[in-house]
Amino acid sequence: MTRTAAIKTRPDAVESDVCLIVEGCYPYVPGGVSSWIDWLMRSQPETSFSVVALWPRPMTVPSRYAPPPNLVALHHLYLQQFGARPQASGRGPLGHERLGEALTRLLTRGGTMALSDVMDELAHVRRTMDLSHLFNSPVAWQLVQDMYRREMPNGSFLHYFWAWRALLGGLLSVLEFPLPEAKVYHTISTGYAGLFAARAQLETGRPALLTEHGIYTNERRIELLMAGWVTDTIDKGHALDDARVDLRDMWIRAFEAYARTCYETATGIVSLYRDNQRPQRLLGAAEAKLKVIANGIDLARFAAIKPAPNTARPTIALIGRVVAIKDVKTFIEAANILKARVPDLRAWVIGPTDEEPDYYKDCVALAAGLGLDGTVLFTGSVNVLDYLGGIHVMVLTSLSESQPLVVLEAGAAGIPFVATDVGSCREIIEGPDSESPHLGAGGIITHLAAADELADAAAVLLTDPQRRRTMGEALRSRVAAFYTSSTAAASYQQLYAGLAGAAPKPPAVPGEA
Amino acid sequence: MAAKRLTAPAHMHRPAGEPSGLTVREASAAAFAVAGEAIVVLLAFSGDVPVTVTVIVHAAITLIAAAILFWNRPGSEDRTVAAVLLLVIVVSGPAGAAAALAMLPFAGHAGAGPQVLKAWYARLANADGGDRATVMHDRVTAGRVVRFDDRPPEDFAGVIANGTLAQRQAALGLIARTFHTDFAPALALALRSPEPVVRTQAAAVVARVRSDLKLRLKTLLATAAGHGAGGHGAGSHRGGLAAAAELLRLADCGLVDRADSERCRRGADTILAKALATERDVTTEAARGNRETALVIEGFLLTAGRLKDFRVSRRIHDLMAGRRYRVRRIGSQPVPG
């Protein structure tokens, strides 16, 4: 990854092979999905890419990635800047009731037909009025009242109004943005990016592909269910089945509807691991479209690393940022329990400590309070490769992960893993049910926030060199077989070739339905 | 429907803070009209020009002023002052133009000021809340109050174990927003759920609750430190006991780390030891407190060997809870039945 000036935008660029649609990451937020997008483009040098980056509003930070040579255009779509100043005069469109019905259907249930109907209705509106003016017109006022009566009749209209503005503003931004020409539209999440891909598929007939790293709707649901900033305008007490729709329900329902639309319209749906397919199925993703392409790593980087000698100081390590979601405190408490059985224990916490300084201070205080000064060591940001050769057992205590690369890196180095049951950890460490022949367990899975279980598992591996070696080798074999960069790159190459070669479906031209 | 209330009074349509009167357009139009109408006056008094020509010149001046005022004017701008100005010029001729120029500096102050708009926006946002009866009436008629036929679940742990996915997710949301240490077992169960979606959400709730508890702990430990230093008066006595009870609950809830758990216990000990050392009647405080506080204090009385105080506390608490006592004996005579 390289710091660089803003990537030049070339909206007039010719048709690209693949148009990537990304929300809230590339090229301004480093790591995670942004790194993956950078890797994807670089891993397909013969394929030309354009990127549509969705943001709430223009970014003030510089791009964090140097553009690869095959990136032909970067477009910015801003979700919260829709709407022109109101016009005092001008003819409004007739029949806003139908538009209201179509929008309500799209925001509450979703689906390809619902999106198609909204696009049809908007095409009718465009004949008499620019959509940016519509959004701030008396017609919009009628629309919001109609939709409020249909969607959230018990809730506060005032709160509905502002939520409606935010939701519709984003939706209309997505539906009005000029569509870059491409052979394949590839979105990296559902939500607004997924809607954009669905719209592209409907308008051009070209295939739309979805790769989900996390499950966008789950992430939004968790945020919304816990959010203090969302006002509860209906008092439901502690009842769980109250059918009255309030703001939280409205937002969650909209994101689910967007996901349903994307799943239904997409030609293919890729997940990083099998567990993530379950929520996709629940929202209507067809079995035939589902596919798993795991992320991979470059094995050559780890080839020279030898397992830590049995005679070396017994060492466990957690590699990751020192932040609450990694639950470093459980690692420290496990080290405390483990120290009673392995007195010479060393427990490294390898990763940056500056992201949540208060949490880091708490961790240091906890270790000191438990008398683990010489046992638990925080290294800060270091080159992980320098440490892997001294680690007997790797540990991951995270509360949430998708497909953690650290498990793959440990596997490439032949180090067995003790990890919480999050993301794809179980699939990587124990192997999927479909694995044939079964390569054996590469470590032990524990429950979340269970320091005693974690200590027991680490003790087993620290005190039994044979088992440690067997599990380390099993993990190494599995990573080499299923989790390499070259495997992932080949899968995407094949997928793109298949989609680009497929005859385009006839586009559903809005307004002519 | 609530939407009807959102129609602003007519005089409030101008956006807040936007100058309405003294703009370059109005000033230019008025200045032009004064100069033009001066010519009209001169023509009228010269006696050489027919009245028709004078009227035509006046009409031309009016048209040009109208163009200055309205030509290419953005639709969003307020036109009230411009319209009044033009009307005055048309009707009153030269005197009107002069009067319009003179009144322009004051025109900006006409209409709704920021304070009036502020009140309107406050009303829009329902910032003052209105009187309680009206608010309650509105909530009932809008269907926003608790429905008593939608009963809450018996316990969240049961929902996490046996509920539908939607119920489990809703329960976890409620646990996050209204956390009580009694919910900790349900949360622990959710962390072990075989359903990945539930586990992920439970993990997010744990992260949020731990962070909230950390802040709460700081407050409670400050209370404990205050009691330890003897800086709290009688008014906060019961509050201190409640804080001790909460600290002990936090210590055992499984959501604070070992070091914080120890700090909780020490804080509670400090408060309770201070309470027992005072001359105040701890038993009464225990009885008056809620059930959880009473249990904590009674546990502490047992540990301290103050069995008589413990019995008294139990009896007072039971009496205050409305439980009947059977009289076993009067003096030395047992009461039959």
Helix, strand, coil fractions of chain A, as percent rounded to 5: 45, 15, 40
Are A158 and B2 a contacting pair, CB within 8 Å?
yes
- Give B 216-275 residues with CB within 8 A of chain A: 257-259, 262
| Burial (CB count within 10 angstroms: exposed 0-12, middle 13-18, buried 19+), residue B97 | buried
* pLDDT bracket for residue A341 (50, 70, 90): very high
- Out of A26-40, A78-92, B76-90, least confident range: A78-92
Which residues 6+ apart lie within 8 Å of A22 measured at CB?
Answer: A33, A34, A37, A51, A52, A53, A54, A187, A188, A189, A193
Query: In the prediction, which pLDDT does B11 show?
Result: 40
* pLDDT bracket for residue A357 (50, 70, 90): very high
In this structure, the dihedral spanned by the alpha carbons of residues B167, B172, B176 and B178, taken in order and rounded to 10 degrees, is 40
Q: Model-level pTM greater than 0.80?
A: no
| Share above pLDDT 90 across residues of chain A, in percent, rounded to a whole number | 75
Fill in the DSSP letter of residue A325: G
Query: In the prediction, which pLDDT does A159 show?
Result: 92
Asked whether the beta carbons of residue A400 and residue B200 sit closer than 8 angstroms, the reply is yes
| Residues of chain B neighbouring A158 (CB-CB closer than 8 A) | 2, 6, 124-126
Structure tokens that stand for A244 in this block: 């009255």
| Residues of chain A neighbouring B144 (CB-CB closer than 8 A) | 154-156, 233-235, 244
**Residue of B5, B169, B197 for testing the chain A interface, max A β-carbons within 10 Å:** B197
Q: Which residue of A has its CA nearest to B159?
A: A240
Asked whether the beta carbons of residue A156 and residue B2 sit closer than 8 angstroms, the reply is yes
Grouping H, G, I as helix, E, B as strand and the rest as coil, residue A116 is helix
Q: Say whether pLDDT at A226 is over 70.
A: yes
β A268-271/A290-292 pair status: parallel
Give the H/E segment covering residue A328.
helix A328-341
Query: In the prediction, which pLDDT does A353 show?
Result: 93
Q: Say whether pLDDT at A445 is over 60.
A: yes
Fill in the DSSP letter of residue A217: H
Euclidean distance between CA atoms B64 and B71, whole angstroms: 10
- Out of A10-14, A443-447, A498-502, A509-513, least confident range: A509-513
How far A422 CA lies from chain B's nearest CA (Å)? 7
3-state SS of chain B?
Answer: CHHHHHCCCHHHCCCCCCCCCCCHHHHHHHHHHHHHHHHHHHHHHHCCCCHHHHHHHHHHHHHHHHHHHHCCCCCCCCCHHHHHHHHHHHHHHHHHHHHHHHHHHHHCCCCCCHHHHHHHHHHHCCCCCCCHHHHHHHHHHHCCCCCCCCCCCCCHHHHHHHCCHHHHHHHHHHHHHCCCHHHHHHHHHHHCCCCHHHHHHHHHHHHHHHHHHHHHHHHHHHHHHHHHCCCCCHHHHHHHHHHHHHHHHHHHCCCCCHHHHHHHHHHHHHHHHHHHHCCCCHHHHHHHCCHHHHHHHHHHHHHCCCHHHHHHHHHHHHHHCCCCCCCCEECCEECCC
Cα distance between the two ends of chain A: 46
Length of chain A: 513
Asked whether the beta carbons of residue A226 and residue B152 sit closer than 8 angstroms, the reply is no
CA distances from A424 to A212, A449, A477, B95 (A): 13, 17, 17, 85
3-state SS of A329-388?
Answer: HHHHHHHHHHHHHCCCCEEEEECCCCCCHHHHHHHHHHHHHCCCCCCEEEEECCCCHHHH
Asked whether the beta carbons of residue A235 and residue B176 sit closer than 8 angstroms, the reply is no
Euclidean distance between CA atoms A151 and B158, whole angstroms: 31
Query: In the prediction, which pLDDT does B72 show?
Result: 81
β A290-292/A315-319 pair status: unpaired
**Cβ–Cβ contacts within 10 Å for residue A462, how many?**
20
| Residues of chain A neighbouring B72 (CB-CB closer than 8 A) | none
* pLDDT bracket for residue A404 (50, 70, 90): very high
A129 in contact with B, Cβ within 8 Å: no
Query: In the prediction, which pLDDT does B19 show?
Result: 44
Q: Which residue of B has its CA nearest to A234?
A: B144
Question: Which residue among B147, B151, B169 places its CB closest to the CB of A225?
Answer: B169
Are A21 and A191 a contacting pair, CB within 8 Å?
no
**Which one-letter amino acid corresponds to residue B120?**
W
Question: Which residue among A226, A279, A332 places its CB closest to the CB of B176?
Answer: A226
Euclidean distance between CA atoms A192 and A354, whole angstroms: 32
Q: Say whether pLDDT at A345 is over 70.
A: yes
Angle at A42 between CA A38 and CA A45, to 5 degrees: 145
Q: Say whether pLDDT at A384 is over 90.
A: yes
B193 in contact with A, Cβ within 8 Å: no
* Predicted confidence (pLDDT) per residue in A161-217, tens digit: 999 999 999 999 999 999 999 999 999 999 999 999 999 999 999 999 999 998 999
Question: Which residue among A218, A234, A366 places its CB closest to the CB of B144?
Answer: A234
Q: Which residue of B has its CA nearest to A326?
A: B207
- Out of A78-87, A124-133, A498-507, least confident range: A498-507
A361 in contact with B, Cβ within 8 Å: no
Which residues 6+ apart lie within 8 Å of A146 measured at CB?
Answer: A96, A97, A100
* Predicted confidence (pLDDT) per residue in A43-59, tens digit: 999 999 999 999 999 98
| DSSP one-letter string for A1-37 | ----SPPPP-TTPPPEEEEEEEES-TTTS-SHHHHHH
Are A241 and A218 a contacting pair, CB within 8 Å?
no
Q: Say whether pLDDT at A20 is over 70.
A: yes
Euclidean distance between CA atoms A377 and A332, whole angstroms: 10
Q: Which residue of A has its CA nearest to B75?
A: A88
Are A437 and A498 a contacting pair, CB within 8 Å?
no
Which has the closest alpha carbon to A183: A80, A60, A346, A48? A48
Euclidean distance between CA atoms A354 and A350, whole angstroms: 12
Asked whether the beta carbons of residue B173 and residue A226 sit closer than 8 angstroms, the reply is yes
Angle at A478 between CA A473 and CA A484, to 5 degrees: 120
Asked whether the beta carbons of residue B170 and residue A225 sit closer than 8 angstroms, the reply is yes
Fill in the DSSP letter of residue A153: T
3-state SS of A436-503?
Answer: CCCCCCCEEEECCCCHHHHHHHHHHHHHCHHHHHHHHHHHHHHHHHHCEHHHHHHHHHHHHHHHHHCC
B290 in contact with A, Cβ within 8 Å: no
| Burial (CB count within 10 angstroms: exposed 0-12, middle 13-18, buried 19+), residue A3 | exposed
**Cβ–Cβ contacts within 10 Å for residue A489, how many?**
17
How far B122 CA lies from chain A's nearest CA (Å)? 12
Give chain B's residues under pLDDT 50: 1-21, 234, 279
Question: Which residue among A155, A329, A400 places its CB closest to the CB of B204?
Answer: A400
A86 in contact with B, Cβ within 8 Å: yes
B170 in contact with A, Cβ within 8 Å: yes
β A443-446/A417-420 pair status: parallel
Which has the closest alpha carbon to A52: A180, A172, A215, A167? A180
Euclidean distance between CA atoms A412 and A408, whole angstroms: 6
Fill in the DSSP letter of residue A304: T
Residue A235, CB-side half-sphere exposure with 13 Å CA sphere: 10
